[in-house]
Amino acid sequence: MTTEIGQGITVDRTGETGAFGGELLTVNFGPHHPSTHGVLRLVVDLDGEQVKRIKPVIGYLHTGIEKQMEALRWQQGVVVTDRHDYLSPPINNLAYALAVERLMGVEVPPRAQALRVIMCELTRLSSHLVWMGTSGLELGAMSMLMYCFRDRDTIMDMNEEISGFRMHTSYIRPGGVFADATPRFLDMLDRFTAKTMAKNVDEYEALLTNNPIWRRRTIGIGRLSAEDAKVLGATGPMLRGSGVAWDLRKAMPYSGYENYDFEIATSDLCDCYGRYLVRIKEMRESVKILRQALDRLPDGPINVDDRKMLPPPREELETSMEAVIHHFKLFTEGYSVPPGDVYVAVESGRGENGCYISSDGTHKPRRVKFRSASFVNLQALERMALNHFIADMIAIIGTADTVLGDCDR
Amino acid sequence: MIPEALVVDRGVSAGDSWLTVDPAKVHDALSALKDEGYSLLVFLTCVDHLLDSSRNWPARYELLYELRNLETREQVRVRAFVDGDPPHVDSVHDLFPPANWDERETYDMFGVVFENHPDLTRILMPDDWVGHPLRRDYPVGGEVVEFSEEHETWQTAPEKA
């Protein structure tokens, strides 16, 4: 039975009976299953081992982040944005910060822009490392997890050095960044990009790219043609793994990405292996961007010079009455944002993560909506996984790289 | 080109261009824009303008459709204002497949009913949830602990939500 799920996109669902005359078996997969990357529940109809129908059930990680943002002042909201896509906090911060800045009509200084790029690329690396480690674990390459988390831990150390927090950094804020990079941070970054990462990506490739088990588990599995990917709204490595060179950092540059020299990673394989190759290439490109950002890191302030938006320096409070007033206003009422609405999209490790803000001119947002890549990409799951074996479905969920916290918000 | 007859108003907000259409003609307008090359529905959502005096809103709920032309990289935001309890609007999942879950989410959070949607059920909240959490008259911080005494009374409480 062929069912249309979008224009021209069909899935072949069998009827009530399987190929050998037996009944289809409905299996509840998840929500608590180690390979669902969070709490994803799938109601799967099986014919023997073959998947004949998938109904994703989401919402188990819904934490009401959008509602919560309406009750928080503009600068408090940053802390919440860290927590929906918990594998790429600075990238979510950036989407929110850019949206608020667009509404306020301010632009951050060059040094802040470069520091934002550094944090975003480090996050992309760490997000891809988690992906590679967990996917490797699922598909039989257990040592990947150890190796990838070793490098991720270095990134965590850098997060701690620059922001004081290992995971939910809240580093990027409307108006600039939290703190300037310390010499120790720049030293760590230099060592990490020049020595550690350049060598280790080669090591990961040596472990996986020509590994016969990895290749047989991923090549030809979970095909998604370029046409289907576009119609289903897939973004990120899902889209680029289908051969479409679309990357928001190139297509609609933000935060100074147009000044960096890097390539869009694509693969024409359209399958799980293609998406793996895209992520490997993206890790190399991220290292390239980090090198450039480090070499050309401009001097200057890291915040906009606007006392109505950011608190005055601590030492001014002792001498200036005006500084005390600004400080008091900011920490009691906060600042207000002119009425209007704006949508800003940034490229996260998973695809387009955007932030839509509607302001009514008060000191709290009227509505904040996060466009999450996982939420949209997950809708392509049935298209990719139908008529595959249930073990291959694990590979497909893995390479789709959905983060359920991002999906459910 | 989108027929001018469909456009009620247009403008630019913080650099993003938008146009307002009649809620009954959302499907027609999005179909025309799709033919024009706006092939990606980036997201779809709703804003509740209850008691918002900053501007003159024609209705309480504002539906938003952010469209992108992947060739020219232009974006346009289509807005439609709807009232009513529950508000009704045509589904666009047949034009843009990703709208399927977005519309379910908007129904779940705002109670907007999308006509002709194949499976308009709650997506993020539990199936037996009462009320639509992102409406402005739904209390913030009003979440009660499940299986507690307050939970029983509160589940039936939100009359206007």
Residue A64 lies in a domain: no
Average pLDDT, chain B: 83
Q: For helices A110-138 and A143-163, give the axis angle rounded to 10 degrees.
A: 160
Interface residues of B toward A, Cβ cutoff 8 Å, are 13-16, 39-43, 45, 47-49, 52, 54-55, 64, 66, 70, 73, 75, 77, 94-98, 100-101, 105, 109, 122-126, 133-134, 136, 138, 140-141, 143
Subunit contact A343:B77, Cβ cutoff 8 A: yes
Domain identity same for A24 and A83:
no
Q: Cα(B40)–Cα(A376) distance, rounded to whole angstroms? A: 12
Q: Is A64 on the interface with B (CB under 8 A)?
A: yes
Subunit contact A342:B14, Cβ cutoff 8 A: yes
* Residue pLDDT, tens place only, A240-275: 988 888 888 888 888 889 889 898 988 888 888 999
Q: Cα(A373)–Cα(A326) distance, rounded to whole angstroms? A: 38
Do A277 and A267 form a contact (C-beta atoms < 8 A)?
yes
Domain identity same for A343 and A369:
yes
| Pick from B16, B73, B124: CB nearest A342 | B16
H-state helical runs in B62-98:
none
Subunit contact A367:B141, Cβ cutoff 8 A: no
Q: Which chain A residues are Cβ-neighbours of B109 within 8 angstroms? A: 66
Do A169 and A82 form a contact (C-beta atoms < 8 A)?
yes
Residues facing residue A342 across a β-bridge: A357
Average pLDDT, chain A: 86
**Cα of A112 vs its chain's centroid, Å:** 21
Residue B28's SS3 state is helix
Q: What is the largest CA-CA distance in chain B?
A: 58
Subunit contact A379:B75, Cβ cutoff 8 A: no
Q: How far from each other are the two terminal CA atoms of chain A, in whole angstroms?
A: 35
Domain identity same for A28 and A166:
no
- Domains contained in chain A, number: 2
Indicate the pTM of the whole model.
Answer: 0.89
Q: Cα(A363)–Cα(A356) distance, rounded to whole angstroms? A: 17
Domain identity same for A292 and A378:
yes
* Residue pLDDT, tens place only, B66-86: 999 888 888 899 999 998 888
Token digits for A312?
A: 């005055």
Residue A115 neighbours by CB under 8 Å, 6+ apart = A177, A180, A181, A297, A302
| pLDDT recorded at residue A6 | 60
Q: Cα(A25)–Cα(A153) distance, rounded to whole angstroms? A: 42
User: Do the bridges between strand A172-173 and strand B75-82 make them parallel or antiparallel, or are there none, so unpaired?
Assistant: unpaired
Tell me which of A30, A57, A84 is where a domain ends.
A57
Task: Look up the ipTM and state it.
Answer: 0.85
Q: Tens of pLDDT along chain A (409 residues)?
A: 566 666 556 665 555 555 555 667 788 887 877 776 778 888 888 887 888 888 888 888 888 888 888 888 898 889 999 888 888 899 999 999 999 999 988 989 999 999 999 999 999 999 999 999 888 888 888 888 899 999 999 999 999 999 888 888 889 999 889 888 899 999 999 999 888 888 888 888 888 888 888 888 888 888 888 888 888 888 989 899 888 888 888 888 888 898 898 989 888 888 889 999 999 999 999 999 999 999 988 988 888 888 788 888 888 888 989 889 988 888 888 888 999 899 999 998 888 999 999 998 888 899 999 999 989 988 888 888 888 888 888 888 888 888 888 888 8
Q: Using the 8-state DSSP alphabet, how is residue A61 labeled?
A: T
At B65, the pLDDT band (50, 70, 90 cuts) reads very high
For residue B39, give the chain A residue with the closest CA.
A231
For residue B79, give the chain A residue with the closest CA.
A341
Residues facing residue A351 across a β-bridge: A348
Q: Choose from A376, A381, A382, A406 for mutation: most chain B CBs within 10 A.
A: A376
Q: How far from each other are the two terminal CA atoms of chain B, in whole angstroms?
A: 39
Q: Cα(B107)–Cα(B85) distance, rounded to whole angstroms? A: 12
For residue A105, give the chain B residue with the closest CA.
B14
Domain identity same for A106 and A232:
yes
Q: What is the CATH number of the domain that holds A271?
A: 1.10.645.10
Subunit contact B101:A375, Cβ cutoff 8 A: yes
Q: Choose from B19, B40, B54, B124 for mutation: most chain A CBs within 10 A.
A: B124
* Overall size of chain B counted in residues: 161
CA distance A193 to chain B (A): 33
* Residue pLDDT, tens place only, A277-323: 999 999 999 999 999 999 988 988 888 888 788 888 888 888 989 88
| pLDDT recorded at residue A11 | 60
Q: Is A376 on the interface with B (CB under 8 A)?
A: yes
Residue A190 lies in a domain: yes
**Cα of A162 vs its chain's centroid, Å:** 20
Token digits for A5?
A: 């799920």
Do A275 and A241 form a contact (C-beta atoms < 8 A)?
yes
pLDDT surpasses 90 at B3:
no
| pLDDT recorded at residue A2 | 63
| pLDDT recorded at residue A99 | 93
Residue B134 neighbours by CB under 8 Å, 6+ apart = A66, A67, A367, B46, B48, B109, B110
Domain that holds residue A363: 74-304+336-408
- What is the torsion angle, in degrees rounded to the nearest 10, for the CA atoms of residue A267, residue A271, residue A274 and residue A278? 80
Residue A381 lies in a domain: yes
| Pick from A66, A251, A352: CB nearest B134 | A66
Q: Which chain B residues are Cβ-neighbours of A252 within 8 angstroms? A: 73
At B65, which helix (H) or strand (E)? strand B61-68
Domain identity same for A193 and A265:
yes
| Pick from A58, A102, A367: CB nearest B47 | A367
Do A109 and A303 form a contact (C-beta atoms < 8 A)?
yes
Q: Which chain A residues are Cβ-neighbours of B101 within 8 angstroms? A: 375-376, 379
Q: Cα(A340)–Cα(A259) distance, rounded to whole angstroms? A: 30
Q: Is A246 on the interface with B (CB under 8 A)?
A: yes
Q: Torsions phi, psi of A42, nearest 5?
A: -120, 130
- As its CATH architecture, domain B4-154 has 2-Layer Sandwich (3.30)
Q: Torsions phi, psi of A296, nearest 5?
A: -110, 20
Q: Choose from B18, B43, B45 for mutation: most chain A CBs within 10 A.
A: B43
| pLDDT recorded at residue A14 | 55
* Residue pLDDT, tens place only, A43-78: 888 887 888 888 888 888 888 888 888 888 898 889
Domain identity same for A184 and A143:
yes
Domain identity same for A37 and A128:
no
Domain identity same for A48 and A83:
no
Do A247 and A237 form a contact (C-beta atoms < 8 A)?
no
Subunit contact A233:B66, Cβ cutoff 8 A: no
Token digits for A17?
A: 């009976």
**Cα of A49 vs its chain's centroid, Å:** 32
Do B65 and B34 form a contact (C-beta atoms < 8 A)?
no
Per domain, the residue ranges of chain B are 4-154
| pLDDT recorded at residue A17 | 58
| pLDDT recorded at residue A384 | 86
Subunit contact B126:A230, Cβ cutoff 8 A: no
Domain identity same for A137 and A192:
yes
Share in percent of chain A as helix, strand, coil (round to 5): 50, 15, 35
For residue B137, give the chain A residue with the closest CA.
A67
Domain identity same for A48 and A87:
no
Domain identity same for A166 and A206:
yes
* Mean pLDDT score, B130-139: 84
CA distance A117 to chain B (A): 22
